[in-house]
Amino acid sequence: MSNVHTLKDIKNRGHWLGSAYEQELEKKLRTAIDFNFEITNFNEKLQAEISEYSEREEDIGNKISQLNASSTKVRSQLISERKSHSENQRELEAKYSAEVKSLKSSIKTLKREATLAQKALSVDKVQILSLETKIRELEGKLEDIDLERTYHDLDVMGG
């Protein structure tokens, strides 16, 4: 039969319920849980931003493709016009060259934007990995606190 202990028997051993030590452990636990919640929210926001960057990158890629197709079409038209209308050649060449130059400039601008979007996406991925590492560290600390509390409870109960 196991021994029965009263509070009077164990009052000078271990920590009391509601003691500063227990309150400190509970405070640490709440802090870890709150921080984990904040990290999770931040992670969700970053995921949304990554999704937005991906959509923007896809839009930019589509625009680049469209501009490339337009540029090819304009070049094709330029060649066709040169063959059939030699007397208007100089005027047409000036017109289409300006349009091609404008399209190339637009393509160059969109490529820069795509590069910037890719860099931003890369930075966000690094931040997510860093936050996931912090989450794992906090989860480890939380497990340590739970173990400390369990050992403490065992010490108080078992003597």
CATH number at 86 reads 1.10.287.2610
Q: Environment class of residue 117 by beta-carbon count within 10 Å: exposed (0-12), middle (13-18) or buried (19+)?
A: buried
Q: Please tell me the distance from the alpha carbon of residue 31 to that of residue 34, in angstroms, as a whole number.
A: 5
Report yes or no on 2 lying in a domain: no
Report yes or no on 84 lying in a domain: yes
Identify the pLDDT of residue 36: 93
pLDDT tens, 143-152? 888 788 887 7
Report yes or no on 86 lying in a domain: yes
Between 116 and 46, whose confidence is greater?
Answer: 46
Which residue from 146, 130, 122, 143 is spatially nearest to 39, judged by alpha carbons? Answer: 130
Average pLDDT in the 77-106 region?
75
Between 18 and 83, whose confidence is greater?
Answer: 83
The token duo for 57 is 């990158």
Identify the pLDDT of residue 15: 53
Answer whether 118's CB lies under 8 Å from 57's CB: yes
Report yes or no on 33 lying in a domain: yes
Identify the pLDDT of residue 126: 82
Q: Which residues contact 17 (CB under 8 A, 6 or more apart)?
A: none
Report yes or no on 104 lying in a domain: yes
Report yes or no on 10 lying in a domain: no
pLDDT tens, 31-78? 999 999 999 999 999 999 999 988 998 998 899 899 899 999 988 988
Q: Please tell me the distance from the alpha carbon of residue 119 to that of residue 65, in angstroms, as a whole number.
A: 20
Report yes or no on 65 lying in a domain: yes
Answer whether 96's CB lies under 8 Å from 74's CB: yes
Domain that holds residue 25: 17-151
Q: Which residues contact 54 (CB under 8 A, 6 or more apart)?
A: 121
Confidence of residue 18 (pLDDT cuts 50, 70, 90): low
Provide the number of structural domains found in the chain. 1
Q: Find the helix packing angle between 89-158 and 20-84, rounded to 10°.
A: 170
Identify the pLDDT of residue 16: 56
Report yes or no on 9 lying in a domain: no
Identify the pLDDT of residue 111: 79
Answer whether 121's CB lies under 8 Å from 107's CB: no
Q: What is the CA radius of gyration of the chain?
A: 34
